[in-house]
Structure 1
Amino acid sequence: MTTLFISDLHLDAERPQVTALFGRFLREEARGADALYILGDLFEAWVGDDDPSDTGAFVARELRTLADAGVPVHFIRGNRDFLVGDAFARRAGMTILPDPAVVMLYGEPTLILHGDTLCTDDVAYQQFRAQVRNPAWQQQFLSQPLAARVAFAQQARAASKAHQAGLQDKGAMESITDVAPATVEATLLRFGITRMIHGHTHRPAIHELEIGERACQRIVLGDWYDQGSVLRVSPGDVKLETL
């Protein structure tokens, strides 16, 4: 009895070895899981469900095969693939969950989310996030030709790298791009839950916290840039490991 959690794969055509690793993971370990949760940034960029990329087609096929084998696949949108829609979800056989969502893991309620909403000290990013998550903005963006959307995604990636480089120069990269402890505390208190699982920060760890005189746990998933990262949750046990 094991439920698997992954995030921040950032799949694209430039890193085919990671896409291949993901495919093997789905065909092998994931086949025996109770469920698979993907907590955002499955793709490096996603500009709409009409994107004809080979990577997207491969992922949809592999996830559909897993779902058809009886393993539920759940997905939370990330900051790179927030435009993944119902059409792709149907192709992939996966269920899109709200961010955040509460799930029961072997009797224990757990809060799951991508994690970018916890990084409230990065004001510039939060302003950008509010803009692109606006339904009106998304509708206008998706109405543009595919080439224009791809160009925008490339510009956004360049701007993100420049923003991070600027933070690095100021010595603020580690603090600004990580979660804000007060936001983590407020989020757990709001939901009344003692365990949280998220990605986004690329800082894999299991943090033991005390919030409101209650023992809490914040589990951060790793990225898939240099290796795979998976959280295995079973009754009474959690293991965060690399592939």
Structure 2
Amino acid sequence: MVTLFIADLHLDPSRPQITELFEHYLASDEVRRADALYILGDLVEAWVGDDDDAELPERIATAIRSVRDAGVPVYFMPGNRDFLLGETFAQRAGLTLLEDGAVHDLYGRPTLLMHGDLLCTDDVAYQTVRQQVRTPQWKAQILAMPLEARRAFATKAREDSRAHTGTTQESIMDVNADAVQQALRHAGVTRLIHGHTHRPAVHALQLDDHRAERIVLGDWYEHGSVLKVTPSGAELHGLSVS
């Protein structure tokens, strides 16, 4: 019995070896025998819409659909890079979409699932932009643009993101401890799994009178990272590029 979690793959044509690693992993016995696979955001470097006719979205859909066809449910929670991913692609890939902050029972332990960016409350500039771009009106306006215009917009957004990251202290871009505690209390649970920060670790913490844990998923920039949750606990594992 095992449930698998991945996040922050940032799949992009410029890093074909990571796309191949993703496809290879999804075709593995470990995935095909899992109880479920969760992808907690930033599956791609940039998502410009479900109508994207590039090769990469089709490869992603094919790989995920094969997992679903093998009888393994695949859950997807949008991140800050792919929040425009919608029901059209989800149906094509066999994905079940999740709201950020969903609580799922993992072998008898309710667990809060988040992408993680909402917890980075010290990064005020980022949170302001996030609030603006997540409105239905903004999404509709962007998706109404021609595909090539959206691709150009995504390229500019990535450049702006790199500039922001390069001039912002790392501590500001990490999660805020109070935000983590508040999220756990609001959900009424003692375990949180998230990505976004690219700082894989299992953190023990005290939540009022209870022991709690925060598990951070790793990114896939140079190699893969997967969290394996079983009835006895949770462990992070790396995946090597062959």
TM-score, normalised to structure 1, is: 0.97
Q: Does 1:131 align with 2:94?
A: no
- Matched residue SS, 2:167: helix
Residue 64 of structure 1: aligned partner: 65
Distance (Å, rounded) in 2 between the aligned partners of 1:184 and 1:175: 15
Gaps of 5+ in 1: none
Runs of 4+ in 1 over 3 A off after TM superposition: none
CA displacement at 1:241 relative to structure 2: 1.0
The 5 A counterparts of 1:86-235 are: 86-167=87-168, 172=169, 174-235=170-231
Residue 21 of structure 1: aligned partner: 21
CA displacement at 1:55 relative to structure 2: 1.0
CA displacement at 1:236 relative to structure 2: 1.5
Distance (Å, rounded) in 2 between the aligned partners of 1:162 and 1:60: 31
Superposed CA offset, 1:195-217 (max 9, x none): 00000000000000001121000
Superposed CA offset, 1:2-52 (max 9, x none): 000000000011111000000010000211110000000001000100011
CA displacement at 1:193 relative to structure 2: 0.4
CA displacement at 1:192 relative to structure 2: 1.2
Distance (Å, rounded) in 2 between the aligned partners of 1:187 and 1:198: 12
TM-score, normalised to structure 2, is: 0.97
Distance (Å, rounded) in 1 between the aligned partners of 2:110 and 2:233: 14
- Matched residue SS, 1:158: helix
Count of matched residue pairs: 238
Residue 42 of structure 1: aligned partner: 43
Q: Give the aligned residue type for 2:231.
A: P
Q: Give the aligned residue type for 2:3.
A: T
Gaps of 5+ in 2: none
Q: Give the aligned residue type for 2:17.
A: Q
CA displacement at 1:190 relative to structure 2: 1.0
Identity, % of aligned positions: 58
Distance (Å, rounded) in 2 between the aligned partners of 1:105 and 1:57: 30
CA displacement at 1:242 relative to structure 2: 0.5
RMSD between aligned residues: 0.6
CA displacement at 1:165 relative to structure 2: 1.3
